[in-house]
Chains A and B, each alone.
Chain A
Amino acid sequence: QSALTQPASVSGSPGQSITISCTGTSSDVGGYNYVSWYQQHPGKAPKLMIYDVSNRPSGVSNRFSGSKSGNTASLTISGLQAEDEADYYCSSYTSSSPLVVFGGGTKLTVL
């Protein structure tokens, strides 16, 4: 069982917006602004999409945005495109070992 809780799946139509939640505790998500989000296509390594809750690395589309409220972080993808279909994982720094914990992943289906 993963330390952070994500919905197993979400879906949306092209052009729509979806939000993926990531729930932790005050020892990880709620206690620090070190939440990251990753996109993973089948057979590929994860790709960093969001870091420090809401920052986008260079080259990541501004259709991807992150936020946090209390112990829950969220990833929003606007203007859904077929290429966004992938698995998405959240991670957070944690005050105990291991230093970083991951969510179980959410499969995004673009209908």
Chain B
Amino acid sequence: QVQLQQSGPGLVKPSQTLSLTCAISGDSVSSSSAAWNWIRQSPSRGLEWLGRTYYRSKWYNDYAVFVKSRTTINPDTSKNQFSLQLNSVIPEDTAVYYCARDSLLTGDLAFDIWGQGTMVTVSS
């Protein structure tokens, strides 16, 4: 079955870059019927979709406008994974970060497979 395995640091200093990776097994980051998303969850802001990358004859990215200027989501086809980079982090970026798949089989932007979550704290 499809699984997503997240990795990355749990503590990031303010103004630095948050970097997380999501390794895919059982599917392909280059699949033409899936998209690969990052979502975060905090008590104060709830669930927030950050963005996604997907392949439809070429690579596309969509980002939430509130993080677009600070965010990059990249696929890595050689390792079958994708990553999140969030620059210039502030304490309000503290959250549990999830990677998630949305598949054409379950409708657009319905997240059927999730990573285990990574608690990221922004603090000096």
Binding site for B on A (CB under 8 A): 2, 34, 36, 38, 45-48, 51-52, 55, 57, 89, 91, 93, 97-105
Residue A51 contacts which of B46, B98, B107 (CB distance < 8 angstroms)?
B107
Residues of B near A91 (CB, < 8 A) are 47, 109-110
- Determine the residue in chain A with the shortest Cβ distance to B111: A48
Main secondary structure on chain A at its contact with chain B?
A: strand
Residues of A near B66 (CB, < 8 A) are 97-98
Residue B46 contacts which of A34, A55, A97, A102 (CB distance < 8 angstroms)?
A102
Q: Can you report 29 A-B residue pairs in the complex whose CB atoms are below 8 A from each other?
A: A34-B107, A34-B108, A34-B109, A45-B114, A45-B115, A46-B98, A46-B111, A46-B114, A47-B114, A48-B106, A48-B110, A51-B107, A52-B107, A57-B106, A89-B46, A89-B47, A91-B47, A91-B109, A93-B109, A97-B65, A98-B48, A98-B49, A98-B66, A99-B52, A100-B109, A101-B49, A102-B47, A103-B46, A105-B46
A34 vs B104: C-alpha distance in the bound complex, in angstroms? 12
- Check B107 against A36 for contact (C-beta < 8 Å): yes
* Smallest CB-CB A-B distances: 4 pairs: A98-B64, A51-B110, A45-B114, A97-B65
Separation in Å of the B44 CB from the closest CB of chain A? 10
- Check B65 against A51 for contact (C-beta < 8 Å): no
Q: A52-B110, A100-B49 known; 8 other A-B pairs, CB under 8 Å?
A: A2-B46, A38-B111, A52-B106, A93-B108, A97-B68, A98-B48, A103-B46, A104-B46
- Check A34 against B110 for contact (C-beta < 8 Å): yes
B117 close to chain A: CB less than 8 A: yes
- Check A45 against B98 for contact (C-beta < 8 Å): yes
- Check A102 against B48 for contact (C-beta < 8 Å): yes
- Check B47 against A51 for contact (C-beta < 8 Å): no
A89 vs B98: C-alpha distance in the bound complex, in angstroms? 15
Residues of A near B47 (CB, < 8 A) are 2, 46, 89, 91, 102, 105
- Determine the residue in chain A with the shortest Cβ distance to B68: A97
Residues of A near B49 (CB, < 8 A) are 98-102
Separation in Å of the B117 CB from the closest CB of chain A? 5
B62 close to chain A: CB less than 8 A: yes
A55 vs B116: C-alpha distance in the bound complex, in angstroms? 24
Give a binary string over B100-124; 1 marks a CB under 8 Å from any A CB, 0 the rest: 0000001111111011110000000
